[in-house]
Structure 1
């Protein structure tokens, strides 16, 4: 599956040159997406995982796909923050994403309902700083600051547009949704453990 070159940090496991691809469409504002992220970390993307890092690392890669769910008011903002971190600290994108899933309650509709957009972005920059270092907080926040144009978005808006257009043209609606080599793999569940992933990959990896 295609990936805009500057979004290479969204490859969260496996070699970028691996011929086969698992696309995981997730929204940090959704509970089942968080469950998928946690299980993916322990089963597939953790450095000690033998599945991708040792057995299949050169054969398949996992791409995190930003799946904005606009009925959650902060969804766009948290995805922008992830892309901002991908620019400032590319090797920490997945670590920040996991931190964002862990703290997703802080950005749910009710907790964030009385906050301004600037305040939410400030909280996201603080969370980023806890992962990538306080010295990089301002760089992240700068990327999340509105441009001079009244409706021009922020510095990472164009990258977010790319991820949204990619999702739309592929008809992705539910978060999480997993694609294997470009086709929806409905059999994959957020509850899968190592056994299920081993069986799935053994059948799919060429």
Structure 2
């Protein structure tokens, strides 16, 4: 599937030139997405990464899936995209940390916070991951509102791209997974190593 050059850090597993593609649509504030994210880290990345059985054959792309009924979904995805730009190598680590801490961004815990406070908290989490004040300062700048009254932040265009991509492909829920461009409805957030191993074995000729 297509991916604009500035979003290459969203390739979270496998080689960019791998012939097969898993497009994985996740929302940072979705519990089921968090469950799948942990499986990606422990099961898929080893299978698709260096030395893995499907190294060079399959890549996995994180597709940000903003769910507007989660009030902080836009803010969390902006933060992910800001990290992807400021520290590409930290994108997945930050994403995983955000999934682990997603409860802090649920509706009730975040209900008394302003957008500026939410963005500040996300920048603090990014600092914990990157351990770099200069990177954190860049992320804060990327998440700062532009001079135009309704101009968004520096990564708003990246966010628009990801939302438009989801819409044109008819993605409605998170998580949703595409295999080579087609929705694989059988894939579930409850899948473990057994299910993923069996799925890949039927799809890839090694």
Shorter-chain-normalised TM-score: which range? over 0.9
2:86 maps to which residue?
88
Q: What are the equivalent positions in structure 2 for 1:63-102 lying under 5 Å apart?
A: 63-102=61-100
- TM (norm. structure 1) is 0.96
Tell me the SS of whatever aligns to 2:8: helix
- TM (norm. structure 2) is 0.96
Asked if 2 retains the 8 angstrom alpha-carbon contact of 1:143 and 1:154, the reply is: yes
What is the aligned residue count? 202
Unaligned 5+ runs, structure 2: none
Tell me the SS of whatever aligns to 1:24: strand
Deviation at 1:173, TM superposition (A): 0.3
2:144 maps to which residue?
145
1:10 maps to which residue?
10
Deviation at 1:134, TM superposition (A): 3.8
1:50-96 C-alpha deviation (Å, 9 max, x unpaired): x2122112011000000000011100000000000001110110000
Asked if 2 retains the 8 angstrom alpha-carbon contact of 1:13 and 1:57, the reply is: no
Tell me the SS of whatever aligns to 1:15: coil
Deviation at 1:16, TM superposition (A): 0.5
Asked if 2 retains the 8 angstrom alpha-carbon contact of 1:9 and 1:86, the reply is: yes
2:183 maps to which residue?
184
2:171 maps to which residue?
172
1:44 maps to which residue?
44
1:127 aligns with 2:99: no
Looking at structure 1, the residues matched to 192 and 31 of structure 2 have their Cα atoms a distance apart, in angstroms, of 18
Deviation at 1:20, TM superposition (A): 0.9
